[in-house]
Amino acid sequence: MSVLNWKKKGEFINVFGHSIFVIDSNTLSNTSNNTKDVLVLLHGYPTSSYDYYKVLPDLAQQYRVIMHDHLGFGFSEKPLDYSYSLIEQADIALQLWKQLGLKKVTLCAHDYGTSVATEILARDNMEELTIKIKQLILCNGSMHIELSQLRTIQILLKNKWTGKWVAKLTNYPIFRRNLRNVFFDKRKVSEVELQDMWFQLEYNNGRKVIHLLSNYINERYYFWHRWIGALKESQIPTKIVWARNDPVAVAAIASLLATEIPNNALHWIEDTGHFPMLENPEEWKRYILDK
């Protein structure tokens, strides 16, 4: 599916004065079927909700699926004068779900989205939420940032001195090489997919904010105790669905999380890299849908 066709599936919703790109499977089916359980998806860095394009049709058979592009990502607004804190990304997600009238959800998060999810979890533990999280699903995110194998470009982008200049110099060949290298089987990501991801990154002057988005890595250190603590305290049933051959969010992170989260089940996806929903969609969605 081309990224422009993906855009046609969504709509733009104003959240706290910002235009957020949202896909709601109820809208796609032209129904208002509110009897299905709701699955909300949080995507990773530096991509968008487009990461889930291969799995959306089957997920929508079982769930009302709702996903959005985080502020600064994909087709959502990309303001130049914004902090892009993960705390505020959690604010936006929760407000969006409130505006959509959601009461109870299964929350599935990948990569960057796992930190948004753990901030939401911290608030849930303090009984600050108006929405109930029925189940949590965590996929290949470097929540234990001390174990993460960051790419060189991530290290440069998160640095307040080098980040802006690296962002200016970043081009499609650099992006393509870095994205392909996090796939276990590089044949599983097509040139068209990579071009579509780059198109969304550049969309609406996106390269001008990519270094600001990269500060999330620093926040993972700063809020480590809050977010890892939230996982240790949570009683929400949790699935850990992990691609074992991820070169960034390495298998050791999933293994450690499985010892820390009280009520969890760990599922490995073999011979798969950082984007399992793109590289191995059949197995990934099987674990997501298995109740």
Could you tell me where the beta strands, DSSP code E, fall in 127-225? 132-139
> Do the Cβ atoms of 57 and 28 come closer than 8 Å?
no
Residue 103 confidence (pLDDT) above 70: yes
- State the Cα–Cα distance between residues 235 and 261, nearest whole angstrom: 8
Q: What is the pLDDT of residues 202-232, one digit of tens each?
A: 999 898 898 888 888 899 999 999 999 999 9
Residue 31 confidence (pLDDT) above 60: no
Q: What is the CATH number of the domain that holds 284?
A: 3.40.50.1820
- Quick one: average pLDDT of 65-76? 98
Least confident of 75-79, 156-160, 196-200: 156-160
Domain count, the chain: 1
Residue 156 confidence (pLDDT) above 70: no
Could you tell me where the beta strands, DSSP code E, fall in the chain? 11-15, 18-24, 37-42, 63-68, 104-110, 132-139, 238-243, 264-269
pLDDT of residue 42: 98
Which of 142-146, 170-174, 207-211 is modeled with the greatest confidence? 142-146
Residue 40 confidence (pLDDT) above 80: yes
Q: What is the pTM assigned to this prediction?
A: 0.94
| Among 66, 158, 52, residue whose Cα is nearest residue 103 | 66
Mean model confidence pLDDT for the chain: 93
β-bridge partners, 21: 12
Angle (CA) 211 216 217, round 5°: 95
- Residue 42 C-beta-side C-alpha neighbours within 13 Å: 31
pLDDT of residue 152: 66
Residue 160 confidence (pLDDT) above 70: no
- Quick one: average pLDDT of 177-200? 95
| Among 138, 147, 135, 125, residue whose Cα is nearest residue 104 | 135
> Do the Cβ atoms of 59 and 39 come closer than 8 Å?
yes
Bigger pLDDT: 170 or 239?
239
The boundaries of the domain holding residue 180 are 3-289
pLDDT of residue 158: 63
Q: What is the pLDDT of residues 121-140, one digit of tens each?
A: 999 999 999 999 999 999 99
Q: What is the pLDDT of residues 233-275, one digit of tens each?
A: 999 999 999 999 999 999 999 999 999 999 999 999 999 999 9
Residue 188 confidence (pLDDT) above 80: yes
pLDDT of residue 157: 62
